[in-house]
Amino acid sequence: MDAHLEMGLDTFGDVSVGDDGHPVTQAQVIRDIVAEGVLAGQVGVQHFGIGEHHRDDFAVSVPDMLLAAIAARSSAIRLGSSVTVLSSDDPVRVYQRFATLDAISGGRAEITVGRGSFTESFPLFGYDLADYELLFEEKLDLLARLRTEGPVTWSGTTRNALTGQRVYPTTESGQLPIWVGVGGSQESVVRAARHGLPMMLAIIGGNPARFSPYIDLYRRATDKFGQGPLPVGVHSGGFIAETDEQARDTLYPYYKAGRDRIGRERGWPPVTRPQYEHDIDHGSLYVGSPATVAEKIAGTVTTLGVQRFDLKYSNGAVPHRLLMHSIELYGTEVMPRVREILQPSSALTA
């Protein structure tokens, strides 16, 4: 295990409600996310990620623009996409946008690419879902080559070829950090290892321990491809309040409404309160007081041996005011507690 644990926060920009219970505009959600990212930096969070979606229940379709706004109002926090849907984007433009963000932020940009758990971007940008796997495979291959920032020669079937061409702007460090988001596919694990890219496990269901085989596979694959040890991260949802009861009761109606909406699209049954409680007690939801959430994060880090943990702090239409308080508790109380828990048994620091 790496001797340094990094801790971050993620959001997909869920359209929230105000204190009166009425939905706020997507424009206001975007402004609120910028404020949330700035606060995250102020309370010592190390990474802030924003995910890309193209739906009416998520406000963010271009994370890099919001991240640039946060970059201008922060100085230390690393800024990245908690998912860039690479399959329906152009790798050259992705690299250019995030290289520009890297310049604005003074070298704090990173990218997390994924195939996307939603498919709205495919018809929106004229891609065929039948090419789901091919699009990601080819575009990730090109993006990984662009990371060298030298002349690139590449050909494929999903975009025009490049012949000794360079992409600008280049970064001052010479290379952008690129993570690959993985949801539980062995092929995705091996693909990340083959390209020598860090892996971010999106654990959104079940006990985190069940993902140990994927991490073992990744370690074996990186060794096989001669990529050396690379960091692994975990991304999971959660919410923090003063007490366990307050956190559970506050989040539940928002979590259920959002989860049930997606469930209706995918044929899932509605979430029940006992299922919700089970996911908190035994699954991948980190909900509770700072002490409770810290204990659970430390347990996951120890069990899986990961080098990074990102809490997805937005889970449904939770009001901005409550999200800000959750962010503050994460940075000021949860992170120090995780460090204290892990220090006696390892050299990890948060």
211-242 residue pLDDT tens = 999 999 999 999 999 998 999 999 999 999 99
Instruction: With respect to residue 347, please indicate whether it lies within any of the assigned structural domains.
Output: no
* pLDDT surpassing 90 at residue 282: yes
What would the pLDDT profile of 50-73 be if each residue is shown by its tens digit?
999 999 999 999 999 999 999 999
The one-letter code for the residue type at 12 is F
Instruction: With respect to residue 79, please indicate whether it lies within any of the assigned structural domains.
Output: yes
Q: How many domains are contained in the chain?
A: 1
Instruction: With respect to residue 349, please indicate whether it lies within any of the assigned structural domains.
Output: no
* pLDDT surpassing 60 at residue 88: yes
Instruction: With respect to residue 102, please indicate whether it lies within any of the assigned structural domains.
Output: yes
What would the pLDDT profile of 4-28 be if each residue is shown by its tens digit?
899 999 999 999 999 899 999 999 9
**Can you tell me the mean pLDDT for 137-154?**
97
What's the rounded Cα separation, in Å, for the pair 63 and 65? 5
Q: Helices 132-146 and 91-105: crossing angle, nearest 10°?
A: 40
Range of the domain at 147: 6-342
Instruction: With respect to residue 348, please indicate whether it lies within any of the assigned structural domains.
Output: no
Instruction: With respect to residue 350, please indicate whether it lies within any of the assigned structural domains.
Output: no
Instruction: With respect to residue 1, please indicate whether it lies within any of the assigned structural domains.
Output: no
Q: What is the mean pLDDT of the chain?
A: 95
Q: Please name the residues in contact with 26: beta carbons below 8 A apart, sequence gap of 6 or more.
A: 15, 59
Instruction: With respect to residue 295, please indicate whether it lies within any of the assigned structural domains.
Output: yes
Residue 33's domain is classified under what CATH number?
3.20.20.30
* pLDDT surpassing 50 at residue 326: yes
Other beta carbons within 10 Å of 314: 29
- DSSP H stretches of helix in the chain: 26-42, 63-71, 91-105, 121-124, 132-146, 186-194, 212-224, 244-266, 273-282, 290-304, 320-329, 335-342
